[in-house]
Amino acid sequence: MNRDAKIFVAGHRGMVGSSIIRALELAGHSSIITRTSKELDLRNQRAVEEFFAKANPEYVILAAAKVGGIFANDTYRAEFLYDNLMIEANVIHQSYAHKVKKLLFLGSSCIYPKHAPQPLKEEYLLSGELEPTNEPYAIAKITGIKLAESYRRQYGCNFISAMPTNLYGPNDNYNLKNSHVLPALMRKFHIAKQEGHDHVQIWGTGSPKREFLHVDDLAAACVFLMEKYNEEMFLNIGTGTDISIKELALIVKKIVGFEGALQFDSTKPDGTPRKLMDVSRICGLGWSPLISLEDGIKMVYEEEVRHAVFAD
């Protein structure tokens, strides 16, 4: 991509999109196009068509999505399916219609079957049943992969896809009803410390294992792929290492400085037992993550405390 090429980052206000903006600016890109959801409803077909006709972006990074944790995914199933299908269908189709040079679609590790072999290889897609609690979201993301793949096959579009593992970082969602596990833990421990609680309750048994990637590492990977990768096969993006929820909770507890006990609520769902990404393909191209989990959590927590995020 030329440094003055027009790049549309969909979802620029979210954790992922805002990090991608920072990475693009760091790489010297100066013509970055953004729209808030109030300015452009990506679910609205006509609005997206008019935007592409007027803005005429040369490159598109599709980071916009309706996202959430187990509770939100399982509660708002229709919204997660409808909103994400509409967003990706409109943006991908208009990218084709307006001759975008390259598009990157960002999915999620939840696309893989619940009981797929570990670590998760890209070829395991559609090889088994999905985790029921987030099946609508997973189906939407699988559709996005197939849209990019199909427009490539039928029309020759240079549309690529990447599947990040669990992410964390600045500008995350800390709402306890619909956040992911790591930001939820940070907020729970912070509140417990501030209010002098003697324990923190955590959903599930603590035994599931998850992989976590700092969003700035993901953003660097996105810029890397936009510069270097032009193949049909989607790529996993992660660290290649995982940790149990209990181990994660102990790290967050230590960083926050909470002195109380952990209490696991086994009546709540665990979700998929394990989700470890095989990242050999992207690492083989020359990319690798730089931020360790403990360092990353510490940086994020300290920054969010400075901005009084947990006081909201």
Average pLDDT for runs of 10 along the chain of length 312 = 95 96 96 97 98 98 87 86 97 98 96 93 96 92 98 98 95 81 93 94 92 98 98 97 96 96 90 88 97 97 86 66
Residues recognised as catalytic = 137
Residue 179: predicted pLDDT? 76
Chain center to CA of 151: 23
Cα-trace Rg, the chain = 19
Residue 16: predicted pLDDT? 96
Residue 270: predicted pLDDT? 82
The 10 Å CB-count burial string (b at 16+, else e) for 278-297 is bbebbbeeebebebebeebb
Domain 7-171+212-241+276-291 top-level CATH class: alpha beta
What are the extents of the domains in the chain?
7-171+212-241+276-291
Q: Output the six-digit token pair for 194.
A: 């501030």
